[in-house]
Amino acid sequence: MSIKPITIAVHGGAGPMSDRININKTGYEEALKQALEAGHTILKKGGRATEAVEASVRIMEDHPLFNSGHGSALNSNGEIEMDAAIMDGTDLCWGGVALVRRVKNPVSLAAQIMRNRKHGLISGSGAETLAVQSELQVVPESYFITAHQYGIFLEQQQKRSGIERIPDNHGTVGAVALDAMGNIAAATSTGGAEYAIPGRISDSCLIGAGCYADNATAALSCTGDGEYIISHVVAYTVAMYRKFTGCALQEACEYVVHKRLKDVKGDIGLISLDTNGNLGIVYNSERMHHAWITRDSKVHIRYK
Ligand code: ASP
C-alpha cells in the first residue's frame, strides 16, 4: 500500500528555442512521456526512487534528441565525453561518473558506484573499466554520435576559429522521484557542452551543483550553463534556501533562479521534489523540456 503520493518529474534540458525543437515537438513529448512512465511504473510496483530516476534517465540517454548517451555533444576534438550522477535522499549516498566515452548508460554506472559505497566520483578510463567489471553495456564511440551533433560540431569548428561565442543548445537530462516509502532521489546525465575543451567536466556529475537529494530538503536535477550552476551550487542552494526559510519548494526555486541569480548571463533550469510530493520547477531560458506525474497519476508534458 502506498503511504506516500508517488511522484516523478523528468527534464530534457534548458536552453534556447530552435526550429529543430519545434519540428521535433512530438518526438520530445513522446520521449519525455516514455521516460516518465518508465520511472512511474517502478514506483507503482513499490520500487525505490533511485531505481525510478535511473530508469527514466536511461530512456532519455538512449534517445537521440537529448544531449546525453546516444545524441551527446562532441567536444572540440570531435570526441564524446559524458558525465552523470545519482543521489539517494535516504542516506545521502551518491555516485558519479565524468568523461566517460563508451558506457552506453552513464547513469547506470553512477548508480553502480553509489551501490558500491566505496568511492563517489570516478572518471575516464577507471570508470570504463568499472563498467566492464560491473557487466554494464560498453559500446563503440560511434554509437553516441548523431548526424545532428556532428553537424553542430562541424559548424562550431568553422565559427570558433574566431572568438565568436555560439550559444549552447543544452539537452542534458534528469529525473527526481518520490517512492511509496517516502524517499526521494535525483539523477542527471549529460553529453556536456558543445565543442568544449577536452577534459571539461560539467555540473551534472557534481553533487550540490547539477544533482542533489536529501529527504530532509529536496531532490533536484539541474540543466543549463554548467559553469554558472557550479559557481552558484544551484541544487544545494535551492535546498538550503528552502530548509532555512521554510518556504514552499516552488518559491525556493523561483527565488534562487529569478532573484538571486537574475544577473547570471546563462541558462539555468531545474526540477525538484520533496518527500510530500511537492514539485518545484523553474527555468530562465526560452525552454526546458520537462514532464511530471502528480499524485492523481495525471501526466503533464512541456516541450518548452
Ligand atoms: N549543464 C550541462 C553542462 O554544462 C549542459 C546542459 O544542461 O544541457 O554540460
Pocket test for ligand 1, best of 152, 212, 225 (most atoms within 8 A of CB): 225
| Closest atom of ligand 1 to CA, residue 269 | 7
Q: Would you place residue 162 in the very low, low, confident or very high pLDDT band (cuts 50, 70, 90)? A: low
Catalytic-role residue among 172, 188, 217, 223: 172
Q: Measured from the CB, is residue 90 less than 6 Å from ligand 1?
A: no
Our CA dihedral for 102, 106, 109, 114, rounded to 10 degrees, sits at 150
198 CA distance to ligand 1 middle (Å): 15
Query: In 3D, which of 191, 214, 187 has the Cα closest to residue 202?
Result: 191
Mean pLDDT (the chain) is 94
CA-proximal residue: ligand 1, atom 8 (nearest): 170
CA of 297 to the centre of ligand 1 (A): 30
Mean pLDDT of 21-30: 94
Asked if residue 72 has its Cβ within 6 Å of ligand 1, the reply is no
Residue 164 has pLDDT above 70, yes or no: no
Q: Cα-flanking dihedrals φ and ψ of residue 211, to 5°?
A: -155, 135
C-alpha distances out from residue 258 to 204, 245, 290, Å: 21, 17, 18
Q: Using alpha carbons only, what angle is made at residue 194 by residues 32 and 11, rounded to the nearest 5 degrees? A: 20
Residue whose Cα lies nearest atom 4 of ligand 1: it is 226
Amino acid, single-letter form, for residue 173: V
Element holding 293 (H helix, E strand): strand 287-293
Query: Is 90 in contact with 183 (CB distance < 8 Å)?
Result: yes
Res. 118: pLDDT tops 80: yes
Q: Which residues contact 147 (CB under 8 A, 6 or more apart)?
A: none
Q: Ligand 1, residue 83: give the atom nearest the CA.
A: 9
* Span 138-154, average pLDDT: 94
Candidates 214, 204, 297, 286; CA nearest to 249 is 214
Residue 2 has pLDDT above 70, yes or no: no
For residue 274, the CA-to-ligand 1 centroid distance in Å is 23
Q: Does 223 sit in the ligand 1 pocket, CB within 6 Å?
A: yes
Q: Is 115 exposed, middle or buried (0-12, 13-18, 19+ CB in 10 A)?
A: middle
What pLDDT is stored for residue 166 in this prediction?
58
* Nearest CA-CA partner of 107 in 142, 65, 59: 59
Residue 138 CA to ligand 1 centre (angstroms): 23
Catalytic (active site) residue 41 = no
Per-residue pLDDT tens for 43-94?
999 999 999 999 999 999 999 999 999 999 999 999 999 999 999 999 999 9
**224 within ligand 1 shell (Cβ under 6 A):** yes
- List Cβ<8 Å contacts ≥24 apart for 259-263: 260/232, 261/228, 261/232, 261/234
- Alpha helix (H) residue ranges in the chain: 19-23, 25-44, 49-61, 106-116, 124-133, 147-159, 226-231, 234-245, 249-254
Tell me what pLDDT residue 273 has.
98
Position 163 scores a pLDDT of 53
Is the beta carbon of 226 within 6 A of some atom in ligand 1?
yes
Distance CA 79, CA 81 (A): 7
Q: Residue 77 CB: number of other CB atoms within 10 A?
A: 12
How distant, in Å, are the alpha carbons of 36, 65, 157, 167 from that of 151?
A: 29, 14, 10, 15
> Quick one: which atom of ligand 1 is closest to the CA of 13?
8
State if residue 203 touches ligand 1 by the CB under 6 angstroms criterion: yes
| CB contact at 8 A, 293 and 299 | yes
Let me know: does 108 contact 53? Beta carbons within 8 Å: no
Cell of 13: 534540458
Whether the CB of 68 sits within 6 Å of ligand 1: no
For residue 44, the model assigns a pLDDT of: 95
* Residue whose grid cell is 542527471: 188
pLDDT at 171 over 90: no
- 190-215 pLDDT, tens digit per residue, is 999 999 999 999 999 999 999 999 99
Identify the residue whose C-alpha is closest to ligand 1 atom 1. Answer: 226
Does any ligand 1 atom lie closer than 6 A to the CB of residue 202? yes
